[in-house]
Amino acid sequence: MAMNENLLRELLEGVRDGRVEPQAALERLRRLPFEPMGFANLDHHRAIRCGFPEVIFCPGKTVEQVRTIFGRLVEQGGNVLATRAAPEVFAAVAKDHPAAEYNELARAVTLRQGEPCEPMGHIAVVSAGTSDLPVAEEARVTAEIMGQRVTTHYDVGVAGLHRLLARSEALQSANVVVVAAGMEGALASVVGGLVAVPVIAVPTSIGYGASFGGLSALLTMLNSCASGVSVVNIDNGFAGGYIAAMINRQAAK
Amino acid sequence: MAMNENLLRELLEGVRDGRVEPQAALERLRRLPFEPMGFANLDHHRAIRCGFPEVIFCPGKTVEQVRTIFGRLVEQGGNVLATRAAPEVFAAVAKDHPAAEYNELARAVTLRQGEPCEPMGHIAVVSAGTSDLPVAEEARVTAEIMGQRVTTHYDVGVAGLHRLLARSEALQSANVVVVAAGMEGALASVVGGLVAVPVIAVPTSIGYGASFGGLSALLTMLNSCASGVSVVNIDNGFAGGYIAAMINRQAAK
Amino acid sequence: MAMNENLLRELLEGVRDGRVEPQAALERLRRLPFEPMGFANLDHHRAIRCGFPEVIFCPGKTVEQVRTIFGRLVEQGGNVLATRAAPEVFAAVAKDHPAAEYNELARAVTLRQGEPCEPMGHIAVVSAGTSDLPVAEEARVTAEIMGQRVTTHYDVGVAGLHRLLARSEALQSANVVVVAAGMEGALASVVGGLVAVPVIAVPTSIGYGASFGGLSALLTMLNSCASGVSVVNIDNGFAGGYIAAMINRQAAK
Amino acid sequence: MAMNENLLRELLEGVRDGRVEPQAALERLRRLPFEPMGFANLDHHRAIRCGFPEVIFCPGKTVEQVRTIFGRLVEQGGNVLATRAAPEVFAAVAKDHPAAEYNELARAVTLRQGEPCEPMGHIAVVSAGTSDLPVAEEARVTAEIMGQRVTTHYDVGVAGLHRLLARSEALQSANVVVVAAGMEGALASVVGGLVAVPVIAVPTSIGYGASFGGLSALLTMLNSCASGVSVVNIDNGFAGGYIAAMINRQAAK
Amino acid sequence: MAMNENLLRELLEGVRDGRVEPQAALERLRRLPFEPMGFANLDHHRAIRCGFPEVIFCPGKTVEQVRTIFGRLVEQGGNVLATRAAPEVFAAVAKDHPAAEYNELARAVTLRQGEPCEPMGHIAVVSAGTSDLPVAEEARVTAEIMGQRVTTHYDVGVAGLHRLLARSEALQSANVVVVAAGMEGALASVVGGLVAVPVIAVPTSIGYGASFGGLSALLTMLNSCASGVSVVNIDNGFAGGYIAAMINRQAAK
Amino acid sequence: MAMNENLLRELLEGVRDGRVEPQAALERLRRLPFEPMGFANLDHHRAIRCGFPEVIFCPGKTVEQVRTIFGRLVEQGGNVLATRAAPEVFAAVAKDHPAAEYNELARAVTLRQGEPCEPMGHIAVVSAGTSDLPVAEEARVTAEIMGQRVTTHYDVGVAGLHRLLARSEALQSANVVVVAAGMEGALASVVGGLVAVPVIAVPTSIGYGASFGGLSALLTMLNSCASGVSVVNIDNGFAGGYIAAMINRQAAK
Amino acid sequence: MAMNENLLRELLEGVRDGRVEPQAALERLRRLPFEPMGFANLDHHRAIRCGFPEVIFCPGKTVEQVRTIFGRLVEQGGNVLATRAAPEVFAAVAKDHPAAEYNELARAVTLRQGEPCEPMGHIAVVSAGTSDLPVAEEARVTAEIMGQRVTTHYDVGVAGLHRLLARSEALQSANVVVVAAGMEGALASVVGGLVAVPVIAVPTSIGYGASFGGLSALLTMLNSCASGVSVVNIDNGFAGGYIAAMINRQAAK
Amino acid sequence: MAMNENLLRELLEGVRDGRVEPQAALERLRRLPFEPMGFANLDHHRAIRCGFPEVIFCPGKTVEQVRTIFGRLVEQGGNVLATRAAPEVFAAVAKDHPAAEYNELARAVTLRQGEPCEPMGHIAVVSAGTSDLPVAEEARVTAEIMGQRVTTHYDVGVAGLHRLLARSEALQSANVVVVAAGMEGALASVVGGLVAVPVIAVPTSIGYGASFGGLSALLTMLNSCASGVSVVNIDNGFAGGYIAAMINRQAAK
Using DSSP, state whether H160 is helix, strand or coil: helix
How far, in Å, are D34, H205, H242 from residue H103 at the CA level?
65, 20, 17
Check residue E158 and report its DSSP letter. G
Q: Which of the pair, B116 or F13, is modelled with greater confidence? A: F13
How far apart are the C-alpha atoms of B132 and B235, rounded to whole Å? 9
The gap between the terminal CA atoms of chain F, to the nearest Å, is 34
- Is C243 in contact with B227 (Cβ distance < 8 A)? yes
Which chains form contacts with chain F, at 3 or more CB pairs under 8 Å?
A: A, D, E, G, H
pTM (predicted TM-score): 0.80
Q: Which residue of B has its CA nearest to E6?
A: B26
Sequence ranges of the domains in chain H:
5-10+31-111, 123-251
Contact of D162 with B39, CB cutoff 8 Å = yes
Average pLDDT value for residue range B43-70: 70
**C198 → closest Cβ in B38, B49, B246:** B246
Nearest by CB to residue G159, choosing from E128, E185, E226, is E226
The tens digit of pLDDT for each residue in G79-99 reads: 899 999 999 999 999 999 999
Q: Give the one of G200, G233, G251 whose C-beta lies nearest to F250's C-beta.
A: G251
D206 to chain B: nearest residue by CA?
Answer: B60
Share above pLDDT 90 across residues of chain C, in percent, rounded to a whole number: 43
Q: How far is A175 from chain F (nearest CA, A)?
A: 27
CB atoms closer than 10 angstroms to residue A52:
23
Identity of the residue in D161, D192, D220 whose CB atom sits nearest the CB atom of C190: D161
Nearest to G223 by CA among E132, E186, D232, F203: E186
Provide the 10 A C-beta neighbour count for residue C65: 14
Summarised one tens digit per residue, pLDDT across range D17-37 is 888 887 777 666 654 433 333
B-contacting chains (≥3 CB pairs under 8 Å):
A, C, D, E, H
* pLDDT averaged per 10 residues in sequence order, chain D, 253 residues: 52 82 70 34 36 80 88 86 94 96 93 75 91 93 93 87 85 94 90 91 87 88 89 94 92 67
Cβ pair E160, E134 in contact under 8 A:
no
G79: left (phi over 0), alpha (psi -120 to 50) or beta: beta
Residue A29 pLDDT class (50, 70, 90 cuts): low
Chains H and E touch (3+ CB pairs under 8 A): no
Query: For position F35, what pLDDT does the model report?
Result: 33
Nearest to G186 among E129, E190, E208 (CB): E190
Q: What is the mean pLDDT of chain H?
A: 82
Report yes or no on chains C and A touching (3+ CB pairs under 8 A): yes
| Separation of alpha carbons B229 and A151, rounded Å | 32
One digit per residue, the tens of pLDDT, for chain H of length 253 reads 233 456 667 777 888 888 888 777 766 665 443 333 333 233 333 333 345 788 888 887 889 889 998 998 888 778 899 999 999 999 999 999 999 999 999 999 999 987 666 677 899 999 988 889 999 999 999 999 998 999 999 988 887 788 888 888 889 899 999 999 998 889 999 999 888 899 999 999 988 777 888 888 999 899 988 889 999 999 999 999 999 999 998 886 5
Secondary structure (3-state) at H30: helix
Distance (Å) from the alpha carbon of A180 to chain B's nearest alpha carbon: 14
**3-state SS, residue F80:** strand
What DSSP string describes chain G? ----HHHHHHHHHHHHTTSS-HHHHHHHHHHS-SGGGTHHHHHHHHHHHH-PPEEEE-TTS-HHHHHHHHHHHHHTTS-EEEES--HHHHHHHHHH-TT-EEETTTTEEEE--SPPPPP-S-EEEEESSGGGHHHHHHHHHHHHHTT--EEEE-S--GGGHHHHHTTHHHHHTSSEEEEEE-TT-THHHHHHHH-SS-EEEEE-S-SSGGGGGGHHHHHHHHT-SSTTEEE--TT-HHHHHHHHHHHHHHHT-
3-state secondary structure of C108: strand
Is G243 close to F198, i.e. CB distance below 8 A? yes
| D98, D103, D104, D109: CA torsion to nearest 10 | -50
Write phi, then psi, for C237 (nearest 5 degrees): -60, -35
User: How far is it, in rounded angstroms, from Cα E249 to Cα E122?
Assistant: 9
**Closest Cα of chain A to H120: distance in Å?**
12
User: Letter for the amino acid at C26?
Assistant: L
Amino acid identity at D18: G
Burial (CB < 10 A; 0-12, 13-18, 19+), residue H90, is buried
Complex-level ipTM: 0.78
Question: Which residues of C lie inside 8 Å of D (Cβ-Cβ)?
Answer: 128-129, 157-161, 165, 183-186, 189-190, 192-194, 207-208, 210-212, 215-217, 219-227
CB contact under 8 A, D131 and B59: yes
Strands D101-103 and D123-127: unpaired
CB contact under 8 A, D38 and F37: no
Are B239 and C232 in contact (CB < 8 Å)? no
The answer to whether the Cβ–Cβ distance between B38 and E15 falls below 8 Å is no
Q: State how far the Cα of A10 lies from the Cα of C225, in Å rounded to an integer.
A: 80
* Of A68-77, E125-134, G57-66, G173-182, highest mean pLDDT: G173-182
Which chains are within 8 Å of A by 3+ CB pairs?
A: B, C, F, G, H
Q: Give the 3-state secondary structure of residue F76.
A: coil
CATH topology of domain H123-251: Rossmann fold (3.40.50)
B248 has a pLDDT exceeding 60: yes
Task: For residue A82, name the pLDDT band (cuts at 50, 70, 90).
Answer: very high
Of B219, B234, B162, nearest to B189 by C-alpha is B219
Q: Which residues of D touch B31 (CB under 8 A)?
A: 169
Is the pLDDT assigned to residue E202 strictly greater than 90? yes
Is the CB of residue D181 less than 8 Å from the CB of residue C184?
no
> Which of E34, E61, E213 is nearest residue C209 as measured by Cβ atoms?
E213
**pLDDT score recorded for residue H246:** 92
Mean pLDDT of chain A: 82
User: pLDDT for C232-250, tens place per residue?
Assistant: 999 999 999 999 999 998 8
User: B252 vs G146, which has greater pLDDT?
Assistant: G146
